[in-house]
Structure 1
Amino acid sequence: MRKVILVLIDGLAHEVAQHSLGYLLGLCEAGRATGYKLQCELPAVSRPLYETILTGTRPVDHGVVHNQVVRTSREQSIFTLARAAGLTTAAAAYHWLSELYNRAPYQAVRDRFTQDERLAIQYGVFYHRDDYPDCHLLLDAEWLRRRFDPHFLLVHPMNVDDAGHKHGLDSSQYRNSARRLDLWLADYLPGWLAEGYQVLVTSDHGMNRDHSHSGTLPEEREVPLFVLGDAFSHDRHARPRQLELCGTLASLLGLAHDKPVCGELLK
C-alpha cells in the first residue's frame, strides 16, 4: 500500500500543458516524472468527468451528464473503496466534489470545512468560487496532509479553467494561469515525493477557442497525465485511459477492486 495524491487541474488542455508546465516537464527531462496524453470521456464537462475519474465509469453510464446534475454519486468511488478498507481520505477541492461524495446540495457553512470520519471524504476544505486562488488551494491541501495524514488526498485547483472560460485557449491569461500553478506545485511536490507519496497530475478536460468545452475537438478532449513516484513503471510507451485512473489509484493504495487499471503504468 502506498499513499497517493491526485492533483486534478481543472480545464488544462494537453497542448498548453506541453509548453507551459516548465517544472513538471523539467522533472520529465530529468527522468523523475513521466508524461502522457489522455483523451477524456464525453461530454467534456467538469462534474461528469470528476465522477468518471474517481469511479472509472463513463458519464453515459453513471448518469452525471452535465454540471447541473446535483446529487451524490451512485457509483463505487476511490473514496468509498478507501473508506471500506479503513483508509483515511481528504480533499481540497471545488464544492461539486463535496456534493458528489459527501452531501448534496452543498451548504457552505456546513461543508466548506469538513471533518467527519463517517463521510466518504472525511477531511475537506471545499471552495465555491471559480477564482478561489490556486495558491490558497495548495495551502489548504498541504494543511490537510499535515494535519490528518490521509492515505488518499485529492487536490483540485480551478484557476486554469476559470481563465479559459474568461479568455479562451489562445490567451496569455490561460497559459499564464497554468504556468503559475506549475511553479506553485514546485513548492510542494519535492516534499510529497520525499515522504513516499505517489503523485498523479492530470486534468478533467481541455478548453477551446470559444471559451468553453464539452465536445470532441482535440483541444477539448486531450489532457495531460504526469506520474511521479517509485511505484510507477515510467514506461513512456504506456497508453493510459481516463477510465483507468480510478483503478490505478486503487491499486496503488492496495485496495481490492474491479475497476479497469492501466497496468503498464505500474511496476
Structure 2
Amino acid sequence: MKTILVVLDGLNYEVAEATMGYLQAECAQGNGQLYQLTCELPSLSRPLYECILTGVTPVKSGVVHNGVNRLSRERSVFHYAREAGLTTAAAAYHWVSELYNRSPWQPARDRHTVDAALPIQYGHFYYDDGYPDSHLFEDAESLRLRHNPDFLLIHPMNIDDAGHKFGLSTPQYRNRARMADGYLSHWMPGWLEAGYQVLVTADHGMNDDRSHGGILPEETSVPLFVFGQAFSLQMDAAPLQTELCGTLCELLGVDHDKPLCPELLARREAE
C-alpha cells in the first residue's frame, strides 16, 4: 500500500495530544489512533532520523550526534522500497539526503533531486530551520502529484525551531504544533481518499531549556498517529520507535529484516 510518513520535528507528546485538533477529530471518528512512543537516546535529530528510517538505535548505527556527516551504514525503508521496484520521495531537512543519497550535501546539486538510481529518487531538501512548514507541505504534495511515490517522507522543522527559540511551555511552540495540524487538515483528507496509509510522528520532544538530547520525559515522549485501512487502531498497541521502519516496510509490502509492531496492523483475511 502507498504510505506517507510525516515526521514533525521536535513535537512533544503532550503538546501533540492537546493541540492537534484535526488529527484528534479523525481519531474520534474512528479513522485513526494516537499512541505514545518513547524515542531512543540520545534524543537528537540526526540520530533519530536514522532510527526511524532504519530501525537501528543510535549507539548501534554510530549516528550518535548531529555532526555525524556521512551516509548511513544501515538499510533504510528507502532501500527496501527501491529493491522492490517501488518509487520513493521526500520533502525533508537536508540531513535526510546526507544519510541516504549523497554526503556531503551540496545545495545546488542536491536540493532538488530527480535521480531514479538513488534511494530517495525524488526530493526537495531544505537547510534553513525556519523554512516555512507551509512551503514544505506544498513541496511534498508537488512530489506526490508529479511522481506518484509509493513511499513519501514529509519532514517539517518549524515546531523544533520554535522550541529552540522559546521553549516547551510557550505559546510560540504550541501554536507551531497547531499550525502543523492545520496544514495536515488541508492535505491529509486527499491522501486518505487516494488510498494512502499515513503515519504522523516525531523524532524527539522538547524541554523548557529550549533544547533536547537527554532523558527527560518531555524530551523523549513523542506521538504516533496512524490513519488508514491497514491499521488495527488497537488502543493497547505499544509500538517502539525502532519498529517504525519494519512497520513501514510491511505496509509497503516489501521484504525486510527489521523489527515491527504487528499490533499496529490490521489482520488480513486468509485468501
TM range (shorter): over 0.9
> 1:105-254 to 2 correspondence within 5 Å?
105-254=104-253
Deviations 1:25-48 (A, max 9, x none): 111111111000000000000000
- Cα RMSD of the aligned pairs, angstroms, is 0.4
Q: Which residue is equivalent to 1:91?
A: 90
Amino acid in the other structure paired with 2:4: I
Amino acid in the other structure paired with 1:129: D
Q: Which residue is equivalent to 1:66?
A: 65
Between the aligned partners of 1:15 and 1:253, the Cα distance in structure 2 is: 30
The offset of 1:137, in angstroms, is 0.2
Amino acid in the other structure paired with 2:206: M
Q: Which residue is equivalent to 2:4?
A: 5
How many residue pairs match? The answer is: 266
Structure 1: 4+ residue segments shifted above 6 A: none
Amino acid in the other structure paired with 2:142: W
Between the aligned partners of 1:33 and 1:81, the Cα distance in structure 2 is: 26
Between the aligned partners of 2:177 and 2:136, the Cα distance in structure 1 is: 14
The offset of 1:225, in angstroms, is 0.2
Deviations 1:25-81 (A, max 9, x none): 111111111000000000000000000000000000000000000001100100010
The offset of 1:175, in angstroms, is 0.2
1:260 aligns to 2:264 (yes or no): no
Between the aligned partners of 1:30 and 1:89, the Cα distance in structure 2 is: 30
Q: Which residue is equivalent to 2:50?
A: 51
Aligned residues: percent identity? Answer: 63
Question: Normalization by structure 2: what TM-score?
Answer: 0.98
Question: Normalization by structure 1: what TM-score?
Answer: 0.99
The offset of 1:156, in angstroms, is 0.2
Between the aligned partners of 1:258 and 1:114, the Cα distance in structure 2 is: 28
Between the aligned partners of 1:241 and 1:221, the Cα distance in structure 2 is: 12
Amino acid in the other structure paired with 1:193: L
Give secondary structure in 2 for the equivalent of 1:186. helix
Extract unaligned runs of 5+ from structure 1: none
Between the aligned partners of 2:152 and 2:26, the Cα distance in structure 1 is: 21
Deviations 1:68-125 (A, max 9, x none): 0000110010001011111100000000000000001111100010000010000000
Extract unaligned runs of 5+ from structure 2: 267-271
